[in-house]
Chains A and B, each alone.
Chain A
Amino acid sequence: MKEIKNALVVDNKLISPNIYSMTLDIKDIAQKAKAGQFVNLYCKAESRLLPRPISICEIDKEKGRIVLVYGVVGKGTEEFGNIKRGESIEVLGPLGNGFMIDETKRKNIIVGGGLGTPPLVELVKHLKGEVDVYLGFRSQAMLIEEFEKIGARVHIATDDGLEGFKGNVLELLKNNNAVGDIIYSCGPKPMLKAVAGWAKNNNIPMQVSLEERMACGIGACVGCVCKVKEKDEQDWQHKKVCKDGPVFWSDEVVWDE
């Protein structure tokens, strides 16, 4: 039977303003997890009922640990940020389906935006061939070393130009005349939509990891839906981001929002 488990917090440190990296000692999840999956973290405060879905940034199967990089965006994640090393947290996972890794692709393009960046770290570890990572942030970049350690080339765009290219990640892709056989991406929906349009024009297949407000994270509540095409833009269905996703092919998503 599946169950919510208590995980030891091995580390929980601030890595960027309002962004934490939490390492959990949780063998069972580490052994099953794949790149692009997520876990539910549960708050101790009973007033905060719903689990917070957090993507898995790195998996260490040998040590039985996972790394979660999360932003403080509300009271729940603020509570997580205050957890000290040595304390424990309730966790369920791994949840969802990860990226569909295609090892035959020679040139991989990775596109990440802000808090969508973390799950791409584990993904890059499993790719064969060249990897170019394009990351967009408002002002301050993160996780660059993690990507470089794996041997990926990292290209940064920031809205204010404080780091790397001044502009958004799509402008950076165009500016660099990026070419590739496949794109894997995660980030805010407007960014994914824009890059999906570029990918379509350049005939590059693209996977997108979507985010939506969830209640259960296990496919029961039918809260976290996105529109996925059956045949065309008009013929679509609401699919569950948690259970059917979070990764979809960009050309099956209806990008109307």
Chain B
Amino acid sequence: MNKENLNLKVDIAGVELKNPITTASGTFGSGREYGEFIDLNQLGAVTVKGVSSIPWKGNPAPRIAETYGGMLNSVGLQNPGVEEFIKNDIPFLRQYDTKIIVNVAGKSIPEYCEVVERLSSADIDLIELNISCPNVKEGGVTFGTDVKMAHKVTKEVKRYAKQPLIVKLSPNVTDITEIARAVVEGGADAISLINTLLGMAIDIHKRKPILANVVGGFSGPAIKPVALRMVYQVAKAVSVPIIGMGGIATGEDAIEFLLAGAKAVAVGTANFRNPRASIDVLEGIKEYMKLYGIKSLDEIRAII
């Protein structure tokens, strides 16, 4: 308990986070790099970069393009595979008093199931099913933009999951609430949103796309209004806990998401500008609570 007597604890599908701050998958590695800048013990949870059944090489470079108030990436879920992850990253993260959320990537339903089954015996707290990555040709967003597929993959994966299952949604859909309902019916214990928006940037001097993959995922402060709107809509549509993300860089940003119905929030792209961003967001939330005499975030959550 902190000395200000603020209650920051949140419960995500039976897992208690000491505070509502986690990291957005793919922006924080497995925490190692940021552990040199911040005390990882201060985070409610670390959400790690997506892991797949076997190592993935990802997309060719260039993979990064800055845009006004944001950026594009086309990394394509490069990762060393679930075995390496379990061997190297879980022991690292377990040194810290923070929960571990593992983002799971796959190209097919059996592949998602394989990773989740392997993780079921691993020492982790929550699983986040990534059906929303716009940078892989198969799997990823193709599951997250189709109501039936989203339902099916959630239902199948749920059979193998020992830990509570979060499903991460793509914003690249016409009606986010349809997908949210579908995954909850499929057995999702929580929802996280939003993943990146599909975007593009062109180098007018070379007359070529900046990204080798042509298109990529758009993130950063510029996307916050879209993310906030979708969190608000999903909070009205389903009753499972929501982890809100998309452009959060300050405590004020995070408060907006909590007011709109998020139970917890993730800090993503802001980490690239400011390696302390997650802690700054946490401090900003506390400031807000003190300013308005709020003792528990439940007092303001989803009141809009």
Residues of A within 8 A of B (CB): 1-4, 42, 46-51, 76, 92, 212-216, 218-226, 237-238, 243, 257
CB distance from B20 to the nearest CB of A (A): 22
Cα A241 to Cα B64 with chains together (Å): 13
Cβ-neighbour of B273 out of A49, A212, A220 (below 8 A): A49
Given contacts A46-B69, A47-B69, contact A220 B271 (CB under 8 A): yes
Find out whether the CB atom of A47 lies under 8 angstroms from the CB atom of B271: no
Which chain A positions have C-beta within 8 A of B292? none
Most buried by A among B33, B70, B73, B273: B273
Find out whether the CB atom of B38 lies under 8 angstroms from the CB atom of A225: no
Q: Mark B272-287, 1 if CB is under 8 A from A, else 0.
A: 1111100000000000
Which chain B positions have C-beta within 8 A of A213? 61-65, 210
Cα A30 to Cα B212 with chains together (Å): 36
Cα A76 to Cα B38 with chains together (Å): 27
CB distance from B58 to the nearest CB of A (A): 6
Which chain B positions have C-beta within 8 A of A220? 27-29, 33-34, 271-272
Find out whether the CB atom of A49 lies under 8 angstroms from the CB atom of B71: yes
Cα A2 to Cα B221 with chains together (Å): 24
CB distance from A48 to the nearest CB of B (A): 7
Given contacts A3-B276, A220-B27, contact A49 B62 (CB under 8 A): no
Cα A2 to Cα B37 with chains together (Å): 5
Which chain B positions have C-beta within 8 A of A212? 61-62
Cβ-neighbour of A42 out of B220, B273, B276 (below 8 A): B273
Find out whether the CB atom of A47 lies under 8 angstroms from the CB atom of B68: yes
CB distance from A148 to the nearest CB of B (A): 34
Q: Say if the beta carbon of B49 comes within 8 Å of chain A.
A: yes
Cα A49 to Cα B215 with chains together (Å): 19
Given contacts A1-B37, A46-B69, A49-B70, contact A222 B58 (CB under 8 A): yes
Find out whether the CB atom of B63 lies under 8 angstroms from the CB atom of A48: no
Q: Say if the beta carbon of B84 comes within 8 Å of chain A.
A: no
Q: Say if the beta carbon of B297 comes within 8 Å of chain A.
A: no
Cα A214 to Cα B177 with chains together (Å): 35
Cα A3 to Cα B38 with chains together (Å): 9
CB distance from A233 to the nearest CB of B (A): 14
Find out whether the CB atom of A214 lies under 8 angstroms from the CB atom of B64: yes
Q: Say if the beta carbon of B78 comes within 8 Å of chain A.
A: yes
Known pairs A224-B61, A225-B58 / 7 extra A-B pairs, C-beta < 8 Å: A220-B28, A223-B64, A224-B64, A225-B63, A238-B57, A238-B61, A243-B33
CB distance from A225 to the nearest CB of B (A): 5
Chain A, residue nearest B57 (CB): A238
- 30 pairs from A and B in contact (CB 8 Å cutoff): A2-B36, A46-B221, A47-B68, A49-B66, A49-B70, A49-B220, A51-B272, A51-B273, A212-B62, A213-B210, A215-B71, A215-B272, A216-B33, A216-B272, A216-B275, A218-B33, A218-B36, A218-B275, A219-B29, A220-B272, A221-B26, A222-B29, A222-B49, A222-B58, A222-B78, A223-B73, A223-B75, A224-B63, A225-B78, A238-B58
Cβ-neighbour of A221 out of B60, B69, B73, B221 (below 8 A): B73
Chain B, residue nearest A74 (CB): B66
